[in-house]
Amino acid sequence: MKRRQLVNIHRWLGLIAGAWLLTLGITGIFLDHDDWRWLRQAEVPENWLSPSMMRYLPATVMRYVAAHPADINQWIGGSERGLWITDNRGATWSKLAFPNGEHPQILRLAKLNIDSVPRIIIATDDGIWAMHGFDGPIKRLALGGDFINMISPGSDPHSIIGVKDFNQIFTIDLDAPNSIEMLNLDQPKVSGLPETITVYQFLFDLHFGYGLLSRKWSTLINDFGGLALIILSTTGLLTWYLKRRWKRRKSPPTDHRKSIIVSLYRGHAPVIGILGIIPILYLSVTGIMFNHFLTFMEWGEAREVRREQLPPVWRYESLQGEIDQVVTFPGEHERMLISTRYGVLVTDDGGASWSSEKALGSQRGQLFRSGDHVFYSTNSRQFFVRADSDSDWRSMTGLPSIVYDAEFTDAGLFVKNSRGFFRDSGQFAFTIDPLKHPNLEAATWYLVHDRRPHR
């Protein structure tokens, strides 16, 4: 096939796919940055969603909950979209306002009962806030301006433990919130990690910006892949349009026009076309796989790759950017659990060394504490709970999707997931409960773009 024929094929394929590639590049960058507040909070009409995406809408409304210890009718719940309260068991909800019109993303709640007064500690993308009692105002507590992806009750009754930007574990004494203790995790010793991981797990993290280097650099590489798609589609369309326009006008070529075409070509092929080939290639291949998710998952879960053959981020020479959640234990300052891409890791020496909690598997999940119990669940519908007094984890049944929060009340144990509220009917077997979250008749921009299979 002659070069001119190849150029024509490339041109027409590019023109046909150009608008779609531009859309993929823009939305891909958006999905890499779920920390951008406007994506999680700016709303679009519900009818913008396809029927297949409608089932994901409830998950964006309320993830984290707190029940009043003395009144089962009173609940507080929140998500990236805001914070709500009900005093009639979900029949109606009212929005809770932050001071000065602030509207942070709610990323986790920690529930403490100090001197018989419930305290709700709120982790957000703008530091930590607190409510003194269910009817108390929301006040800033600490770490203003920082992205706090996790908080949990601390090992002391008046303390909390949390994670800043997936990097640093900290503890705060609520009586002295300005005195913040940061845990040193520069050179941890991690043992018991699996020798192999599934191809599905690797490609999943690769596609969504966690699979090459650190969380920050992997995201930047994926961003560049999205930016490359935007530039390639834009410069290709502009080159075709300008040449066609000038040809129709039948005006003689000028040096200015030649310089425009040369600049567009250089930006299109020799620069972006070459630099962007690696991220574009792996994003395209994995994107096609996720469009056939069930087949890909079955294929990918059946194949494994050795951990030492993967990029450095999989070797865990550092825990920077790897800490999704953390919990600790009453009176045990040195003992902690963290949730990572390899599942749950445990330390008994304050973070100097970590080992895998093998009973929970090696998948990323949701780890949190409620009362004297610790919960862990994964997207593969594995649900675990363990009381502080127990040595073994127990399975939970009857739950259709990953659990984000739980509350022990006088009416029993409730858990919250994307489908709603579920109540324990005995022996950690759960059934759906009529308690409802706010019925928001709008979707977020992030949900419009999001096609992740785990959402």
Each residue of 158-179: pLDDT tens digit? 999 999 999 899 999 998 998 8
pLDDT in tens, 227-278: 888 887 787 777 777 777 777 776 677 777 777 777 776 666 666 667 777 7
pLDDT greater than 80 at residue 54: no
pLDDT in tens, 80-137: 999 999 999 999 999 999 999 999 999 999 999 887 788 999 999 999 999 998 888 9
* 300/284 Cα distance (integer angstroms): 16
Q: Considering the entire predicted model, what is its pTM? A: 0.84
Of the pLDDT bands very low, low, confident and very high (cuts 50, 70, 90), residue 453 is very low
Could you tell me how far CA 228 lies from the centroid of its own chain?
24
pLDDT greater than 50 at residue 407: yes
User: 297: buried, middle or exposed (CB in 10 Å: 19+, 13-18, 0-12)?
Assistant: middle
| Residue closest to 207 by CA, chosen among 317, 322, 289, 323 | 289
Angle between helices 255-266 and 215-249 (to 10 degrees): 150
Of the pLDDT bands very low, low, confident and very high (cuts 50, 70, 90), residue 450 is low
CA distances from 295 to 288, 290, 298, 301 (A): 11, 9, 5, 10
Interior angle at CA 60, CA 58 and CA 65, nearest 5: 85
Give percent of the chain above pLDDT 90.
Answer: 46
Q: What local confidence, expressed as pLDDT, does residue 152 receive?
A: 97
Q: What local confidence, expressed as pLDDT, does residue 440 receive?
A: 79
Average pLDDT over residues 281-293: 73
Give percent of the chain above pLDDT 70.
Answer: 86
Query: What 3 state SS string does 58-108 have?
Result: HHHHCCEEEEECCEEEEEEEEECCEEEEECCCCCCCEECCCHHHCCCCEEE
Determine which helix (DSSP H) or strand (DSSP E) holds 241, and give its type and residue range.
helix 215-249
CA distances from 16 to 9, 21, 71, 237 (A): 11, 10, 60, 10
Residue 18 DSSP code = H
Average pLDDT over residues 312-331: 90
More confident call, 20 vs 75? 75
pLDDT greater than 80 at residue 374: yes
DSSP, collapsed to helix, strand or coil, labels residue 323 as coil
Q: What local confidence, expressed as pLDDT, does residue 235 receive?
A: 78
What is the residue-averaged pLDDT of the chain? 84
Is the separation of the CB atoms in 310 and 212 below 8 Å? Answer: no
Of the pLDDT bands very low, low, confident and very high (cuts 50, 70, 90), residue 454 is very low
Rg (CA), the chain: 25
CA distances from 206 to 211, 249, 454 (A): 4, 48, 15
pLDDT in tens, 334-370: 999 999 999 999 999 999 999 999 999 888 999 999 9
Of the pLDDT bands very low, low, confident and very high (cuts 50, 70, 90), residue 284 is confident
CA distances from 429 to 92, 334, 381, 396, 424 (A): 28, 33, 14, 6, 6
More confident call, 419 vs 453? 419
